[in-house]
Amino acid sequence: MPSQARKLRVCALYPDLMNIYADRGNLIVLERRCAWRGIGFQLNVCGMGEQLDSDGSDLFYLGGGQDRDQLLCAADLVSFKRAALHRAADRGAVVLGVCGGYQLLGHSYVVGEQEITGVGLVDVHTVRAAAPRLIGNIAIEVQLEQQSPPRVLAGFENHGGRTHLGAHAEPLGRVLKGHGNDGTSGYEGVRRANVIGTYLHGPLLPKNAWFADWLIAAALGVQPRDLGELPDDELESQAHASALRAAGM
Ligand code: GLN
């Protein structure tokens, strides 16, 4: 497909409420890396009370949020967006949840006496432990394609919730430095085909431009190598290296 004919359609879910640690930077990275390649970019927004169009976007993005913001979004997400997100995931669209957004992609998030129901796109559940928050720089090893070598994602995590993988869930990666899903399992995030949840903020994509490219390719249904290298990725490489150093790699 000629690049002019390609367009990445991204849907930001609750960009006003689910956006801590400048998670909106992830959207800017997607837009820039498409623009630099001559790929069109369309940003759709779906907020409170709005029905989600399952066919209207190729990548659905749910950022991080404080417990109270998550609570506000969770009921709305289940009522207005759950079915559409399942339809989108079933046709291969990318769904990316970061931290609070990751927790809501699972079955539930238990905070004290309260159980917040998630959309159940992935087989995980999260419990807010009466224990210190899991905070700090983190690096994880991921293998997104069987035939390619493992790569490293670096970022920052800050969560009170501990996420547990169900019997059928695959982690996104293995913790090299940091806490990950629950501080003990050695796993971070979850992946079911193109549905990905992770605790990595920072935001995630400015620190891991290679992963932004992987997401763009997956959302467009092409191989990452088909996107082609960008002529100058020096700043992005430095950002990645700096995040790795911060994590002690
Ligand atoms: N409120 C959630 C927790 O503390 C998620 C926080 C976040 O998105 N950083 O576990």
Helices and strands in the chain: count of H runs, count of E runs: 8, 14
pLDDT tens digits, 58-79: 999 999 988 888 999 999 999 9
Q: Ligand 1 centre and the CA of 150: distance in Å?
A: 27
Q: What is the pLDDT of residue 1?
A: 52
- Ligand 1 contacts CB of residue 135 (under 6 A): no
Q: How many domains does the chain have?
A: 1
Q: Ligand 1 centre and the CA of 66: distance in Å?
A: 5
pLDDT tens digits, 8-25: 999 999 999 988 877 889
Q: What CATH number does the domain containing 205 carry?
A: 3.40.50.880
Extract the tokens encoding 171.
């982690």
Q: Is 20 exposed, middle or buried (0-12, 13-18, 19+ CB in 10 A)?
A: middle
- Ligand 1 contacts CB of residue 66 (under 6 A): yes
Q: Which domain holds residue 116?
A: 3-246
Residue 80 pLDDT class (50, 70, 90 cuts): very high
Q: What is the pLDDT of residue 2?
A: 53
pTM score, two decimals? 0.96
* 234 CB-near residues (< 8 Å, 6+ apart): none
Q: Cα separation of 163 and 108, whole Å?
A: 10
Is pLDDT above 70 for 4?
Answer: no
Q: Ligand 1 centre and the CA of 65: distance in Å?
A: 6
Sheet containing 40-46: order of strands: 40-46, 7-13, 59-62, 94-98, 195-198, 190-192
